[in-house]
Amino acid sequence: MTVKPADRTGNVQEYYFSQKLAQIDRMRREGSDVINLGIGSPDQPPSQNTISALIEHAKKTTAHGYQSYSGIPALRQAFSDWYEKYFKVNLNPDNEILLLMGSKEGIMHISMAFVNPGDEVLVPDPGYPTYSSVTNLVGGIIRKYDLNEKNGWLPDLEAIEKSDLSRVKLMWVNYPHMPTGVKGSMKLFEKLVAFCKKHNILLCNDNPYSFILNKEYHSLLAVDGAKEIALELNSLSKSHNMAGWRIGMVAGQSEYIKNILKVKSNMDSGMFLAMQMAAVEALNNPESWYNTVNSVYIRRKKIVEEIMELLKCTYDKSQAGLFVWGRIPEDIPDCEPYVENILMKTLVFITPGFIFGKNGERYIRISLCATEEKLKEARNRIASFLIAR
């Protein structure tokens, strides 16, 4: 290579799954029937009316131009109604909701809008790796805060407060939490809002898992006065089986939203109208739709729990979200080779917890995004492997 990449590329690595999926693709091309239980990409379809709306609007000759930067009013209204109905949060669709191409890009836009080089960012460990990589990309300084089984995977705010917080600008939280499946609560959100107000920290809850194996719909923005310092990301990826569509949003006070839009409007030029009209349909699915989707996950989860038990992992049965998170037995020295060995011997890929941070080192995460048939096949392969050892 003759042209040197920018220094910032030295601060990040290719996303773990980007490399791992390439390896799995290679193995499949070479004839291996790999079962991928790594990634949380829902394999069930969106509701039928969502697909019909996409087709209907795509057929219109007028549907193909650039769209507004913040999302069409009908979609912002639908997000506002959805938040009112399930989270009991009042959001002004005109200026408190910004449409995103998935919540992942929102992590970048929020960081670009609020984090100066040298500012510190509180990031959960374990947690979604993008909070750290984006912090690196914008020149922020990562301050990991520990989550562990002992503290119920909840932040210990007293411990965090013991260190100097004067340079902290932003704090990421994510409840229901990925990868641990802990649900969080309004009590937790109240404490977080008070903590961030006290220290003048922008608090952002990344909330894509509320509708998966969970009936307690909590939003950070439901806390009294939260809008002063809080934002929330949400997404149709997991809740509506639309991960490939890339539809999400950020909600919060209009002044914050304005600044995020300043960044975002320089990066894309709106979302295809037919997709936005289809998203309106999706957000209007009746509550029974979520129940039907979840009934499938409930059956799958039983099989995943059997896999956890075969592997002698300990896990909490009340986890929300698209995964089961389990602790590997103490006699296994290192999780990464353990998972790699399972992949090589059984052609089943499960995610090692270290990719979510050092507190995830003794854990694995198994996805519910595979059919019961595939999960049973994975369970049987792992059982045979364990017998043959």
Ligand X SMILES: Cc1ncc(COP(=O)(O)O)c(C=O)c1O
Q: List interacting residues with ligand X (CB under 6 A).
A: 40, 102-104, 128, 174, 178, 206, 208, 235, 237, 243, 248
The rounded distance, in Å, linking the Cα atoms of 304 and 301 is 5
Q: Are strands 363-367 and 351-352 parallel, antiparallel or unpaired?
A: antiparallel
Q: Which CB, 178 or 257, lies closer to ligand X?
A: 178
Q: Which is nearer to ligand X, 248 or 326 (CB)?
A: 248
Least distance in angstroms from the C-beta of 133 to ligand X: 12
Minimum distance from residue 15 beta carbon to ligand X (Å): 10
Closer to ligand X by Cβ: residue 128 or 189: 128
* Nearest approach, Cβ of residue 23 and ligand X (Å): 19
Structure tokens at 382: 């792992």
User: For residues 71 and 102, which CB has a smaller minimum distance to ligand X in the complex?
Assistant: 102
For 147-229, where are the E strands, in sequence order? 168-173, 202-206
Least distance in Å: CB of 331 to ligand X? Answer: 30
The nearer residue to ligand X, 196 or 204, going by C-beta atoms, is 204
* Cβ 44 to ligand X shortest distance, Å: 15
- Measured distance CA(231)–CA(214) in Å, rounded: 21
CB of 330 to ligand X, least distance (A): 28
* Closest separation in Å from C-beta 110 to ligand X: 12
We find the least distance from the C-beta atom of residue 1 to ligand X, in angstroms, to be 30
Instruction: Give, as one character, the DSSP assignment of residue 327.
Output: E
Answer for the pair 223, 232: CB distance below 8 angstroms, yes or no. no
- Which residue lies nearer to ligand X by CB, 103 or 346? 103
Which helix (DSSP H) or strand (DSSP E) does residue 91 occupy? none
Whose Cβ is closer to ligand X: residue 72's or residue 233's? 233
Q: Which residues pair with 205 in a beta bridge?
A: 173, 232
DSSP-based three-state secondary structure for 240: coil
Q: How far is the CB of 127 from ligand X (least distance, A)?
A: 8
Q: Which of 289-295's residues contact partners 24+ apart within 8 Å by CB, and which partners?
A: 289/47, 290/211, 290/239, 293/44, 293/211, 293/212, 293/241, 294/211, 294/212, 294/213
- The pair of three-digit structure tokens given for residue 301, joined into one six-digit string: 């989860």
The CA distances from residue 163 to 22, 155, 167, 168, in Å, are 41, 14, 11, 11
In degrees, rounded to 5, the angle at the alpha carbon of residue 348 between the alpha carbons of residues 343 and 351 is 75
Beta strands in 16-164 (DSSP E): 35-36, 97-100, 120-125, 141-146
CB 145 within 8 A of CB 123: yes
Closer of 102 and 357 to ligand X (Cβ): 102
With beta carbons less than 8 A apart as the criterion, state whether 26 and 347 touch: no
Q: How far is the CB of 198 from ligand X (least distance, A)?
A: 26
**CA–CA distance, 208 with 232 (Å, rounded to integer):** 10
Give whichever of 271 and 347 is closer to ligand X, judged by the CB atom.
271
